[in-house]
């Protein structure tokens, strides 16, 4: 529909569509959020289910303008094999803000609504922060190592916050999402980290360990996503302007080892080492897959 327009004009139109789509769905979301204030468990559960449907319709709108503005060649592997019926943990490599829309494009309505662990400061971002609060995204108060050294009693604060946030989600399926690298990949960051991986930064195991500790047996599986851009890492404005030409996305579903349930990542040193080794093995497999995709791209 918009593919033949000049790129700057496409960018302006899709920016407007993204903004209007967000404003359209934020108001019913806020109205449903008021139901959570009622002192009835059934009402709160119903409101959360309905808000999940509102968020799914927002994602449908984003998928629509992405299709209108560009003719992206999607190369997808493993999506049809996902068999998650309840709650799960989702991880991915991270190269661009485009990654979030790529994940939404393919996982909306296939998995429960993706919920991120967010920094507490993000709640003050207009509209976005309120939407995330309404949808029960866990907001975390992060503490530096220096702060924790002075206040060791605060070491369990994040875990307790996560447990309280996840307790509010019980009764509905959830998909807790984490970019394990913690930041977008760049060659400069890779060099500064002295990363042992060819296409990845070092993974941070603490985030998903926190999720597993907080959610326990409610998480049925790990969905591992690998995103590759054959034409180079795109900028967000490339997505808006219709310049996203080829994207490869590989999905795999893995079990969460049973021996990781009910243990403390912060307090159990043996478990912490075991968990880090598991995460490193996931990252070694992902790095090998990205190398294969570099050399032999999937067929469209």
- List, for residues 257-272, the tens digit of each pLDDT value: 988 888 888 788 899 9
Protein fold of 71-295: Glycerol-3-phosphate (1)-acyltransferase (3.40.1130)
Predicted local distance difference test score (pLDDT) of residue 5: 85
Choose the weakest-confidence range: 17-31, 94-108, 124-138, 252-266: 124-138
Distance CA 145, CA 27 (A): 40
Name the 3-class secondary structure at 267: coil
Average pLDDT for the chain: 87
- What ranges do the domains of the chain cover? 71-295
Report the candidate in 111, 75, 285 with the shortest Cα–Cα distance to residue 198.
285
Choose the weakest-confidence range: 148-162, 180-194, 237-251, 272-286: 148-162
Q: What is the end-to-end Cα distance of the chain in Å, rounded?
A: 22
Distance CA 67, CA 54 (A): 20
CB under 8 Å to 271, separation ≥6 — which residues? 260, 263, 264, 265
Dump pLDDT digits (tens) for 17-72. Answer: 999 999 999 999 999 988 888 888 888 888 888 999 999 999 999 999 999 998 89
The answer to whether residues 112 and 89 touch, using CB atoms and an 8 Å cutoff, is: no
- Tell me which of 145 and 185 has the higher pLDDT: 185
The answer to whether residues 129 and 105 touch, using CB atoms and an 8 Å cutoff, is: no
DSSP 119-173: EGGGGGSTTHHHHHHHTTPPEE----HHHHHH-GGGTTHHHHHHHHHHHTTTTS-
Distance CA 242, CA 112 (A): 28
Please check the confidence at residue 4 and state whether its pLDDT lies above 70. yes
Q: What percent of the chain shows pLDDT beyond 70?
A: 90
Residue with the two structure tokens 């795999």 = 252
DSSP 24-44: HHHHHHHHHHGGGGSS-HHHH
Model confidence, pTM = 0.89
């Amino acid at each position: 529909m918009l593919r033949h327009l000049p790129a700057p004009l496409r960018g302006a139109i899709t920016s407007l569509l993204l903004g209007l789509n967000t404003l359209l769905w934020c108001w019913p979301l806020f109205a449903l959020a008021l139901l959570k204030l009622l002192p009835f468990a059934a009402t709160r559960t119903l409101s959360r289910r309905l808000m999940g449907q509102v968020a799914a319709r927002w994602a449908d709108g984003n998928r629509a303008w992405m299709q209108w503005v560009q003719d992206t060649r999607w190369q997808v592997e493993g999506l049809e094999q996902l068999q998650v019926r309840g709650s799960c943990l989702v991880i991915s490599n991270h190269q661009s803000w485009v990654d979030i829309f790529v994940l939404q494009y393919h996982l909306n309505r296939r998995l429960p609504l993706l919920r991120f662990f967010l920094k507490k400061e993000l709640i003050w971002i207009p509209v976005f922060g309120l939407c995330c609060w309404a949808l029960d995204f866990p907001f975390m108060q992060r503490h530096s190592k220096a702060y924790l050294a002075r206040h060791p009693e605060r070491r369990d604060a994040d875990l307790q916050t996560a447990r309280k946030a996840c307790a509010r989600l019980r009764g509905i399926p959830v998909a807790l999402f984490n970019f394990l690298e913690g930041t977008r990949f760049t060659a400069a960051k890779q060099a500064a980290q002295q990363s042992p991986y060819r296409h990845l930064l070092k993974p941070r195991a603490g985030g998903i360990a926190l999720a597993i500790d907080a959610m326990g047996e409610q998480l049925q599986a790990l969905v591992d996503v690998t995103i590759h851009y054959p034409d180079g890492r795109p900028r967000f404005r490339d997505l808006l302007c219709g310049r996203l030409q080829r994207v490869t996305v590989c999905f795999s579903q893995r079990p969460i080892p049973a021996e990781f349930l009910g243990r403390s990542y912060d307090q159990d040193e043996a478990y912490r080492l075991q968990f880090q080794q598991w995460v490193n093995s996931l990252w070694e497999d992902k790095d090998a897959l990205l190398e294969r995709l570099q050399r032999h791209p999937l067929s469209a």
